[in-house]
Chains A and B, each alone.
Chain A
Amino acid sequence: MASVSLKRAPKRVVTFDVFNRRVRTLGMIAFSVAVLAVMMLLAQVLGVDGLQTRLDVRNQPPSWANPFGTDWLGRDMFTRTLQGLTISLRVGLIASALSAVLGLLVGLAAATLGGWVDAAITWLIDLFMSLPHMVALILIAFVFGGGVNGVIASVALTHWTGLARVIRAEVLQLKTADYVQLSARFGHSKMWIARHHLLPHLFPQFVVGLLLLFPHAILHEAGITFIGIGLSPHQPAVGVILSESMRHLSTGYWWLAVLPGLALLVMVKSFDALGENLRALLDPRTAQE
């Protein structure tokens, strides 16, 4: 047993260990937001000057002037990567927002309408989940004719299932919860119960679900762009950069693929950490630790 001296003043505010769970969680959230903000800001500040073709500085390794080196046309890879990430972020944001809203609506419909609607939706969710992700992504992107629309549609249409399932389960559980049924016996209408008991419970789930969709959306966007049916080569998206760089890997220009890849990884992990830590904070079971 650790021996700690305990004073006997009621309701005192105590500083326990500084690096307790909530401080760490909030720290991680702040750090993730900062990383993402710096990336976006740098992209704005640097502008597109670095994208000019400069044949005199072709294939330069990383240096102070060009932190990520330059490519076979002398373009600054750092600028290209940041611009690419900005595009990826924008596409990812639209795709995951669409996907999350779709998941929310489908989950709510399944749980509230019940009966054959629920059965059909559950079947659909299982179908989507049993399909290999990449295959579905490629097929849908192909149907929509590739490009930005194809990427958004394919990511949105393949990623709603997880959140739909969570929302459906939560609503079903809440509907039968004693306190919700009791609320109806107190004379409150269905709308009142939905607004006061259900929505405040679902909202955090939705936000966390949305945030955790983000890294998937960005990775998959990069993935299908990499194999050539996503964004067009004229848009300097990360997937495009990575796919072009592959051709130059064997020539020893490692920085063309490795550094943009690392940047993508940092961004994806930041979003992941943001979502996971927010989830820990919002869950009453882990919020106190």
Chain B
Amino acid sequence: MLKAEQISFRYTHNGPWILRDVSLAIEAGEVVGLSAPSGRGKTTLGKILAGYLPPLTGRVSLNGAPLPKSGYCPVQLIFQHPELAINPRWRMKRVLEEAFVPSAELLRDLGIEAGWLNRWPHELSGGELQRFAVARALGPATRYVIADEMTTMLDANTQAHIWQVVLDHVRRRKLGLLVVSHDAALLGRLCTQIISLPHL
């Protein structure tokens, strides 16, 4: 279980609170939706859950233990803008295989074509780049996935496609999934449970 207990966070000492006493838990195999207006710390919470930021108070635990400080993180975050999550000076093959070598099956499911692997990031569209970001996050050691507005910038067709692949993996491998989105229809489609962040 991925568990956040009484998380509080602010970026600067004396700055405004971004998160205040937030708690949530995701079971393996569960799809939880997180909805809140912009500026309520959804992205910050996602970064804390995936170990990008340490919470100021409270704790994040994975099956009772804190997140590992080094090595592959079992909680992987997928960003809204794939072009920022990819080194612009690397070819796509190197980008894809930075963490592990994804199976041919996963690439086929995501519709990643062999010809794309030799390209530079700026030669691919946002929808194509996001497929690579998803492939990288679904490593063998991944247990939980945080999808922060993962398909907000994509067209409906690519959105439906990527979610089908992710949901399929979640079910088969019993991964936990947190879907951060403001699209109520999308959350309704994907999630068994929807939580929202209170206004501070």
A/B: CB atoms within 8 Å of each other: yes
Name the B residues within 8 Å of A178 (CB-CB): 79, 81, 84-85
Question: What residues of chain A lie closer than 8 Å to B85, measured between beta carbons?
Answer: 178-179, 182
Q: Is residue A248 within 8 Å, beta carbon to beta carbon, of the partner chain?
A: no
Q: A115: CB under 8 A from chain B?
A: no
Assign chain B's interface to a size class: 20 to 34
Main secondary structure of the interface of B (DSSP, over half): loop
Q: At the interface, yes or no: A187 with Cβ under 8 Å from chain B?
A: yes
Residue B135 CB within 8 A of the other chain: no
- The residue on B at minimum CB distance from A200 is B89
Cβ of B17 within 8 Å of any chain A Cβ, yes or no, is no
Q: Is the CB of A187 within 8 A of B70?
A: yes
Q: Cβ of A181: which chain B residues have Cβ within 8 Å of it?
A: 52
A187→B79 CA distance, assembly (Å): 18
Chain A residues with CB under 8 A of B79: 178, 182
Q: Does A22 contact B (CB under 8 A)?
A: no
- Give the shortest distance, in Å, between A260 (CB) and chain B (any CB): 43
* Contact (Cβ within 8 A) A179 B84: yes
Interface contact A187-B122, CB-CB below 8 Å: no
Residue B130 CB within 8 A of the other chain: no
B78 to chain A, nearest CB (A): 10
Interface residues in A188-220 by Cβ distance below 8 A to B read 188-189, 197, 200-201
Known contacts: A178-B79, A179-B84. The answer to whether A185 contacts B73 by CB under 8 A is: yes
User: Given A178-B85, A284-B88, are A187 and B99 neighbors across the interface (CB < 8 Å)?
Assistant: yes
Task: Give the residue of A179, A187, A200, A201 whose beta carbon is less than 8 angstroms from that of B72.
Answer: A187
Query: Max chain B CB contacts within 10 Å: which of A177, A179, A188, A284?
Result: A179
Closest to A187 in B: B72
Additional 20 contacts, C-beta under 8 A, given A178-B85, A189-B70, A200-B89 = A177-B84, A178-B79, A178-B84, A179-B84, A182-B77, A182-B85, A182-B136, A183-B98, A185-B50, A185-B51, A185-B52, A185-B72, A185-B77, A186-B73, A186-B99, A186-B136, A186-B139, A187-B70, A188-B98, A284-B88
> A residues near B, CB below 8 A?
177-179, 181-183, 185-189, 197, 200-201, 284
